[in-house]
Amino acid sequence: MSGAARESRGTVTIATGRCKGCELCIPACPPRVLHMSVGRNALGVRYPELLPGCTGCGACLLVCPDFCFEVYRYPADAAAEAAP
């Protein structure tokens, strides 16, 4: 992949304290913008972190057994305004 920045069409919030580190969300993410943290939460496990380029597809939400994700999609016109 080139070094160009990816356009985000959505975002997710992650309840990192509730995550049990199963990593199901990592391969489920079509744009591959989730990766596991280096740090650990209060449960002692690594948790997912979001990189730029989220599409708001909701795949992470659908596979997460602990309901750690909230998904938000940007309106099409807001994404165009946010682009530099």
CATH number of 10-75: 3.30.70.20
- pLDDT for 1 equals 41
User: How does pLDDT run across 4-59, given as a tens digit for each residue?
Assistant: 456 778 899 999 999 999 999 999 999 999 999 999 999 999 999 999 999 999 99
**In this predicted model, which residue has the larger pLDDT, 80 or 57?**
57
- pTM, 2 dp: 0.78
* Pair 55, 10: CB distance under 8 Å: yes
Domain boundaries, the chain: 10-75
* Pair 22, 48: CB distance under 8 Å: no
Judged against a pLDDT cut of 70, whether residue 79 lies above it is answered with no
